[in-house]
Amino acid sequence: MRWWWWWGASDADGENPAPTGLIPVAAAPGTMLYTDASVLRPLRAGAVWTYRGVQVYSGQARVPVEYSNAVRHVAAAADRVSEEGTNPFNGGPDSVTLALSGGAMHSLAAFETLPGRFETIDEIELRSPVRVNDQYTVMDRVFEDSGLDLDDDGRRDALGIAVYKMVIGQEAVALPHVPTIDAVRVRTYMVARYRLTSNGTYTDTVTATMDAWYAPGVGVVKLELDEPYDSLGFRMKSTETLVNWNGITEGIGALDSKPVFNAQGERLGRVVDAVSFKDHALVASQVRLESLPADGIALTALDGFGNVLSSQTYPSPWAMDLALVAMNGQANLIAPQGPTPALKMFSFDSSGAPTGASPVTLTTTQLANTTTGERVVAATSGSVLWVSWIA
């Protein structure tokens, strides 16, 4: 995460590796939260995290600014990805490289540390084991030539910049589509001050913080950046909250809607019923069969992203009068059948193909005529099938 380099060191020169004195003594490590930090920052090529952001300005009568940021992982090499954001903290497109090495998750990005000189900054986001109060340094540098002469003595003053992280602990985070999710909160401190060349004194210290909440198996679920906005002391707080996550094989929240087509290349008609299996759903929908005087039904298997896995179409004059239930890994379709309708059960596999089993007659009771045709409801409880109908 490269949010903190805006402070002005890009115009500085004469780096002094001496510590700034801005990093406090680390507290004793506390409770161990995770033995492996990588579970909190999964690297998953193709995965997308979408955040809703809002920026609030303190001390100013400004309307909060809302924005969005979509973050995608793109495969780079073994144990690393390119993390590409469309608008992190409302600052436009940006990217960093995430790499897992030595039990730590590294964020690497190139910065112009001196005019014309680019340097890759290696920021440790998390390290194993993850413990409360664990503190680690990202940067601790003094730039003897900051490019600014604050005391008007004809000499440029020095600038000290320190960046360090601390594991705050585990907290429950509320998300739009999840009541709460447990996440580890890590706070990054960016601290800076100038040393005046006229008398060696320091200016007031200026601080920015960035809190990140990491949920196991998901990654970053919330970000909060609190930073100075101008030289008058006003501050800006940017908060990004996870709205949805497309984790390829799992996710949080809803994906964008898209049309679904049946075996004939037509959009699915009115959906009558649907059942779910371990890794897909089977949807029963109405379809018009041109070769028949009546409608039929399409049984379409969809994966978790709405992609069609298979689709079969069957003639049925009772397309509105059916119920679909899952039992023992099969899909059972219950519908009236025959000139004098008897309620029958037809068996299909989880893809919607017939199993070959003979239909089972459940009742010969005449179903009532209704304007909607919705006269059959079914459900399962373990190995028991429950069916109700309007007679």
263 domain-assigned? no
Q: Are residues 230 and 309 in the same domain?
A: no
Please tell me whether the overall predicted TM-score, pTM, comes out greater than 0.95 for this model.
no
Contacts of residue 304, Cβ cutoff 8 Å, sequence gap at least 6: 249, 250, 251, 279, 280
Contacts of residue 281, Cβ cutoff 8 Å, sequence gap at least 6: 274, 275, 301, 302
Q: What three-state secondary structure class fits 203?
A: coil
C-alpha 345/C-alpha 361 separation (Å) is 6
pLDDT given for residue 10 in this prediction: 40
What is the band of 50 on the pLDDT scale with cuts at 50, 70, 90?
A: very high
Q: Are residues 17 and 129 in the same domain?
A: yes
The DSSP secondary-structure symbol of 334 reads: E
Domain boundary among 203, 223, 252: 252
Q: Is the peptide bond before 339 cis (omega within 30 degrees of 0)?
A: no
Q: Are residues 158 and 14 in the same domain?
A: yes
284 domain-assigned? yes
Q: Are residues 312 and 181 in the same domain?
A: no
Q: How many domains does the chain have?
A: 2
pLDDT given for residue 72 in this prediction: 97
Cβ proximity of 204 and 196 under 8 Å: no
pLDDT > 50? residue 11? no
Per residue in 205-252, pLDDT (tens digit) is 999 999 999 999 999 999 999 998 776 678 899 999 999 999 988 889
Domain boundary among 187, 222, 252: 252
Q: Are residues 167 and 298 in the same domain?
A: no
CB burial string 361-388: b at 16+ within 10 A, e below: ebeeeebeeeeeeebbebeeeeeebebe
Domain containing residue 209: CATH number: 2.40.360
168 domain-assigned? yes
As a whole number, the mean pLDDT across the chain is 85
Q: What three-state secondary structure class fits 24?
A: coil
Number of DSSP helices (H) and strands (E) in the chain, helices first: 0, 26
2 domain-assigned? no
Q: How far is CA 36 from CA 42, 124, 127, 174, in A?
A: 11, 14, 8, 24
pLDDT > 80? residue 138? yes
Q: Are residues 336 and 192 in the same domain?
A: no
Strand order in the sheet with 323-327: 323-327, 330-337, 342-348, 360-363
CB burial string 77-88: b at 16+ within 10 A, e below: eeebbebbbebb
Q: Are residues 212 and 307 in the same domain?
A: no
Domain span at residue 211 reads 10-252
Q: How many CA atoms lie within 13 A of 99 on its CB side?
A: 14
DSSP string of 121-180? EEEEEEESSEETT-EEEEEEEEEEE-S--TT-SSSPPEEEEEEEEEEEEEEEEEETTEEE
What is the band of 379 on the pLDDT scale with cuts at 50, 70, 90?
A: confident
pLDDT > 50? residue 2? no
Q: Are residues 134 and 164 in the same domain?
A: yes
5 domain-assigned? no
261 domain-assigned? no
204 domain-assigned? yes
Residue 158's CB is within 10 A of a number of other CB atoms, namely: 22
What is the band of 372 on the pLDDT scale with cuts at 50, 70, 90?
A: low
292 domain-assigned? yes
* CA 242, 247, 252, 254 torsion-angle sign: positive
C-alpha 251/C-alpha 212 separation (Å) is 19
Q: Is 310 exposed, middle or buried (0-12, 13-18, 19+ CB in 10 A)?
A: middle
Taking the C-alpha atoms of 150, 152, 196 and 157 in order, what is their torsion angle to the nearest 10 degrees? Answer: 70
Instruction: Please report where in the chains the tokens 């033995």 appear, as a residue.
Output: 35
Partnered with residue 75 across adjacent β-strands are 81
Q: Are residues 145 and 229 in the same domain?
A: yes
Q: Are residues 149 and 218 in the same domain?
A: yes
Q: Is 293 exposed, middle or buried (0-12, 13-18, 19+ CB in 10 A)?
A: exposed
Q: Are residues 218 and 306 in the same domain?
A: no
C-alpha 362/C-alpha 262 separation (Å) is 29
Q: What three-state secondary structure class fits 5?
A: helix
Q: Of the given ranges (57-66, 106-115, 238-247, 267-276), which has the lowest mean pLDDT?
A: 106-115
Segment 16-25 shows an average pLDDT of 82
